[in-house]
Amino acid sequence: MAQVMLDLNRPEQAAEYARRSLEADPRRVMSHFALGVVAQRAGRYEEALAAFRRTEEANRLQKDSVVLGLHARMADCLARLGRDADAEREFQAEIRAVPWSREGRVGLAMLYRSQGRDAEARTAVEGLVDAAPRPDPETYWTVIKTLSVLGDAAAAREWAARARARFPRDARFRP
């Protein structure tokens, strides 16, 4: 229910459901995660980080379990707190765990761009296509949009041409 409330943008109710869930069983990974998301969305980054760390601890008890976006969310909080080196490590951890993570790759690219590391930013986001098990139009669109936001218009045009060749019927890739 906490996740449903998050999806409905009802953070107070999401937090309440997550807390009740944790009262019943403090090992519930996604309840810790939901509390982290609520705090992150509210700009309470230290609180969010603490909840995400509890998520990570609870998840260690689950064999072969990965919480999608966990490290990317931790990285976002760290970056907003000015802890860029820690943020970079968390984005990289997200990409190691889920190589096709859009949050991980786009977040890392944005972090690199903010540091003037433009070539690394481009490589991070372009890696999304190679890492995706089946790159679809949305994958290409993410690369194109991110490159545009990063101010790399030439690379965005190049990727739009690649996408147009691969997905000629998709109107987003037409010139």
pLDDT score recorded for residue 106: 98
Q: Name the superfamily (CATH) of residues 1-62.
A: Tetratricopeptide repeat domain (1.25.40.10)
The domain spans of the chain are 1-62
Assess contact for 139 and 123: CB atoms under 8 A.
no
pLDDT score recorded for residue 62: 86
Q: Which two tokens stand for residue 142?
A: 């993410």
Whether the per-residue pLDDT at 18 is higher than 90: the answer is yes
Report the predicted TM-score, pTM, of the whole model to 2 decimal places.
Answer: 0.92
Assess contact for 88 and 72: CB atoms under 8 A.
no
3-state secondary structure of 115: coil
64: left (phi over 0), alpha (psi -120 to 50) or beta: left
Assess contact for 128 and 163: CB atoms under 8 A.
no
Surface-to-core class of residue 174, CB atoms within 10 Å of its CB (0-12 exposed, 13-18 middle, 19+ buried): exposed
Model confidence over 123-157: pLDDT tens digits?
A: 999 999 999 999 999 999 999 999 999 999 999 99
Whether the per-residue pLDDT at 175 is higher than 90: the answer is no
Residue 45's alpha-carbon distances to 73, 77, 80, 99, in angstroms, are 10, 5, 8, 25
Whether the per-residue pLDDT at 39 is higher than 90: the answer is yes
